Amino acid sequence: MTETGRDTTVVIVGGGVAGLTLGNFLLGKGIGCVVLEKHSRDYVEQRQRAGALDANGVRVLNEWGLGEAVEGYSHGDSDAGVPLLIDGEERQWRMGGGDDEDEVDGAFCPQQILVRNLIRIFLRDGGDLRFGAQDVSLHDVDTEQPTVRYRDADGSSRTLTCDFVAGSDGFRGVSRTAVPDDVLTSSTYEFGYAWLSAMTQAPADPLAVLAVHSRGFAARITRGPHASRLYLQCPLTDTVEQWPDERIWNELEARFGRPVESRGPITSRQVVPLRGVVFSPMRHGRLYLLGDAAHLISPMSAEGMSLALHDADALAKAVVRQVEKNDSTLLDSYSDTCLNHTWERQASAVRMTQTMHDSGDTTYEGEFRKQIARKNLETMLEPAAPHAS
């Protein structure tokens, strides 16, 4: 029991990047929290998703003393070090000119490794993390004592009372449904194309390559020393059956305009529509939404994890301020703070996604948009090396 008579201060629904980070931040400040995760530990530690954490994400972890969660993973200026192939010609991203010694680099850290590390640290430090929590439901979130009900891994019904609920259960979670329909708004932008996203058990060398080509956008990004993820722009109507292994490799090679030597078995593939989604407000009563539960960002930006960490940082600071100083200012402004940040990142993600995709295959947006996108892209690159005559 907490001093307020609740079972805990914060019930965190969802043990992904957002929930586990928030849990670790609160635990580090001695604030009681319980993390409820639907799946087993084994499942979440194996779930393959993102691979790149941007500089802001790494900075947030460092600031809370959680740098060890990404330690050992390749750091480097996320853009400057990544070759860009335009119709097969290699170009370099324009350097930001940042020679600030305190500047932090992004990291190529597979999401499942980050999640594994966050779980290990949380449990090592005495955190309460309950896997296999089924049928989670939120009640009375607009009162002073919200309740969270669930069935534990043995099938027994459990109830937790708390001061605050953190809804960090991803895009398809239940937390958001506790916000009444007439309160919650949703804004979506569909780009009009998808990525065929495939995992292969073969390393990426270099760690990441992006390609703009008249056949469409393509990329290969590391997922650790033995695996990488392949991305190919494709129509929304494509199905995975249309993308057998051989076609994926041939198409990657065609869009890179160079041989792709490192090939391995394709272990999974999916067609992912590119879209941005923002739900507002991110707070209802004592429920606070974080990460994918509140927004999706185009995967081209590779900022989904970073947005999740931003929200966890903002909510942890707000709860700490409330608990230590009885000051609700940060909790009151949480939704505005996070929405402002999200829209800023969405704006940049839309620009980047359109530039990288419109520059290539004109069947999606046409020749006019291609020429505009190419001009925009040039402003982001070092001048092309002069061709030998």
Ligand X SMILES: Cc1cc2nc3c(=O)[nH]c(=O)nc-3n(C[C@H](O)[C@H](O)[C@H](O)COP(=O)(O)OP(=O)(O)OC[C@H]3O[C@@H](n4cnc5c(N)ncnc54)[C@H](O)[C@@H]3O)c2cc1C
Positions that interact with ligand X (CB under 6 A) = 13-19, 36-39, 44, 49-52, 111, 133, 136, 168-170, 173-174, 197, 272, 291-292, 299, 302-306, 308
Cα distances from 92 to residues 212, 290, 380, 384, in angstroms, run 13, 35, 9, 8
Q: What is the 3-state secondary structure (H, E, C) of 30-59?
A: CCCEEEECCCCHHHHHHCCCCCEECHHHHH
Q: For the stretch 79-96, what's the b/e string if a residue is b when 16 or more beta carbons lie within 10 angstroms of its beta carbon? A: bebbebbbeeeebbbeee
Q: With 0-12 CB in 10 A as exposed, 13-18 as middle and 19+ as buried, what is 196?
A: buried
Evaluate the CA torsion angle 332, 338, 339, 341 in order and state its sign. Answer: positive
- Least separation in angstroms between CB 87 and ligand X: 25
Residue of minimal CB distance from ligand X? Answer: 16
CB closer to ligand X, 77 vs 378: 77
Q: Closer CB to ligand X, residue 204 or residue 305?
A: 305
Which lies closer to ligand X via its Cβ, residue 16 or residue 216? Answer: 16
Question: Among all chains, which residue has been given the structure tokens 């004109």?
Answer: 362
Min. distance of Cβ 24 from ligand X in angstroms?
A: 13
- Closest CB to ligand X among residues 204, 308: 308
Q: Which backbone phi and psi does 370 adopt, to 5 degrees?
A: -65, -45
DSSP-derived secondary structure letter, 168: -
Phi, then psi, of 198 in degrees rounded to 5: -130, 140
What is the closest distance, in whole angstroms, from the C-beta atom of residue 383 to ligand X in the complex?
A: 28
CB nearer to ligand X: pick between 60 and 370: 60
Tell me 305's DSSP state. Answer: H
Q: Tokens for 278? A: 């923002």
Contacts of 363 (CB under 8 A, 6+ apart): none
Q: Which residues contact 270 (CB under 8 A, 6 or more apart)?
A: 196, 197, 198, 240
Tell me whether residue 19 or residue 276 sits nearer to ligand X (CB atom): 19
Residue nearer to ligand X on the CB measure, 183 or 272 = 272
Q: Least distance (Å) from ligand X to the CB of residue 64?
A: 16
- Shortest distance, CB of residue 125 to ligand X, whole angstroms? 19
Give Cα 202 distance to the centre of its chain.
23
Least CB distance to ligand X at residue 118 (A): 10
Least distance between ligand X and beta carbon 65 (Å): 20
Nearer to ligand X, 21 or 355 (CB): 21
Q: How far is the CB of 128 from ligand X (least distance, A)?
A: 14
CA dist., res. 228 & res. 210, Å (int):
13
Q: Which of 233, 232, 220 is nearest to 193 (CA)?
A: 233
Strand partners, 220: 209, 230
